């Protein structure tokens, strides 16, 4: 009997606890709802007062906003001037210390970019040997303080992007071509390097004439549509990088890239060969029965023999410079054997 009484009391207490908990949750919910509504009323009241204040003091607010913008502009201008002074005290100072490299024929990348910027802004042709500064360019293009610094950053980004497109993938697949411009430290260029870079830096991707659109043709894999003179300039420009000992570009890297872009051999040589083959095939389709016809065919045969001998001579020259001599002799002997047969 006593045990039953204890269990009944326990059950009664649990029921009371449950009811109390439900009551607590209900009242809490009601309080939270009341609190939310009260906060909403306060927010609306504050917003109405704010609108009245704004309407009443709109002139003062606009004046304060104008002052704020002017102060911010002064702050930005001051820090830009500080940045220029720091740059002149560091980079310009280092460039002066490296003037010997310029005298030896080297041009810093920064000098190249300043020349390009000045040309774009004023039309003045670059002088790679002339040492110019951001301040001198700024005075020539009459821009607000700090404009040259920001334009130079944009130009640096443009150059890096275009250079990587032109030079393609390097042997180290995870290393961009731009990093090969220096063996460490500053980037020093020759005049030939600068002329090569100017070629594609002055080349707009929206160029109307595709035969001069270097970046567009490379990106769309249509380099064969480039003007022949432009192709030659690209080839000479790339080899100028291998000839600059201050870069990491080797001749093998340049040859691989040129093969990727233009294939092997020469387009002009191929064109001349195909033209000759077409004429010879056309003659072979003609009659050779009379004495006069036979004489003409003999003259053509002699001309072809002379042509073969001259090409063989030039072939020897090329292969002696760029290939193994024993392989060359073996190839020429095979040609002689074919001729004797």
Residue with tokens 């449950």: 18
**Token couple for 29:** 């919910």
182: left (phi over 0), alpha (psi -120 to 50) or beta: beta
Q: Which residues of the chain have pLDDT under 50?
A: 92-100, 103, 145, 205-206
pLDDT at 316: 79
Q: Is 74 exposed, middle or buried (0-12, 13-18, 19+ CB in 10 A)?
A: exposed
C-alpha to C-alpha distance for 68 and 61, rounded to whole angstroms: 10
Task: Measure the CA angle with vertex 277, ends 274 and 282; round to 5°.
Answer: 125
C-alpha to C-alpha distance for 221 and 270, rounded to whole angstroms: 20
**Token couple for 36:** 């939310």
Query: Measuring CA to CA, how many Å separate 228 from each of 160, 260, 268?
Result: 25, 17, 9
**Token couple for 28:** 């809490």
Query: Measuring CA to CA, how many Å separate 224 from each of 126, 141, 211, 221, 266?
Result: 30, 38, 9, 8, 12
pLDDT at 36: 66
- Among candidates 159, 93, 99, which has minimal Cα distance to 129? 99
pLDDT at 11: 65
Query: Measuring CA to CA, how many Å separate 135 from each of 78, 85, 144, 220, 244?
Result: 16, 10, 11, 39, 29
24: left (phi over 0), alpha (psi -120 to 50) or beta: alpha
pLDDT at 158: 93
**Token couple for 263:** 């294939």
Q: Give me the half-sphere count of Cα atoms (radius 13 Å) on the Cβ side of residue 179.
A: 8
> With a threshold of 0.75, does the pTM exceed it?
no
Instruction: Please name the residues in contact with 323: beta carbons below 8 A apart, sequence gap of 6 or more.
Output: none
Q: Is-contact 193 126, C-beta < 8 A? A: no
Predicted confidence (pLDDT) per residue in 253-312, tens digit: 998 898 888 876 666 777 788 888 888 888 888 888 888 888 888 898 898 888 888 888
Q: Is-contact 149 88, C-beta < 8 A? A: no
Q: Where are the alpha helices (DSSP H) in the chain?
A: 2-56, 58-87, 93-97, 99-103, 109-122, 134-141, 147-167, 191-201, 214-219, 228-242, 251-262, 267-284, 291-322, 325-340
């Amino acid at each position: 009997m006593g045990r039953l009484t204890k269990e009944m009391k326990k059950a009664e207490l649990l029921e009371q606890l449950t009811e109390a908990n439900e009551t607590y949750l209900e009242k809490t919910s009601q309080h939270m709802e009341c609190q939310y509504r009260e906060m909403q009323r306060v927010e609306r009241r504050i917003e109405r007062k704010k609108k009245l204040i704004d309407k009443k003091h709109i002139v003062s607010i606009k004046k304060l906003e104008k002052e704020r913008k002017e102060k911010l502009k002064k702050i930005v201008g001051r820090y830009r001037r500080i940045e220029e002074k720091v740059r002149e005290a560091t980079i310009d100072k280092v460039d002066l210390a490296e003037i010997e490299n310029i005298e030896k024929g080297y041009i810093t990348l920064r000098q190249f970019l300043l020349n390009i910027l000045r040309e774009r802004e004023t039309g003045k042709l670059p002088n790679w040997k002339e040492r110019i500064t951001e301040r001198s360019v700024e005075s020539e293009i009459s821009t607000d303080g700090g404009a040259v610094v920001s334009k130079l950053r944009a130009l640096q980004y443009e150059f890096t992007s275009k250079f990587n497109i032109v030079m393609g993938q390097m042997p180290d697949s995870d290393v961009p071509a731009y990093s090969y411009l220096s063996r460490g430290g500053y980037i020093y260029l020759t005049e030939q390097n600068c002329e090569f870079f100017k070629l594609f830096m002055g080349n707009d991707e929206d160029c109307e004439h595709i035969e001069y659109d270097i970046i567009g043709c490379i990106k769309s894999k249509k380099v064969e549509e480039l003007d022949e003179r432009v192709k030659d300039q690209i080839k000479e420009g790339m080899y100028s990088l291998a000839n600059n000992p201050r870069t990491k570009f080797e001749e093998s890297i340049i040859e691989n890239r040129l093969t990727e872009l233009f294939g092997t051999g020469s387009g002009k040589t191929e064109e001349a060969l195909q033209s000759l083959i077409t004429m010879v095939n056309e003659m072979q389709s003609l009659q050779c029965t009379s004495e006069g016809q036979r004489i003409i065919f003999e003259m053509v045969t002699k001309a072809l023999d002379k042509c073969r001998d001259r090409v063989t001579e030039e072939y020897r020259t090329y292969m002696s410079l760029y290939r193994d001599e024993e392989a060359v002799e073996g190839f020429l002997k095979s040609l002689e054997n074919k001729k004797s047969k």
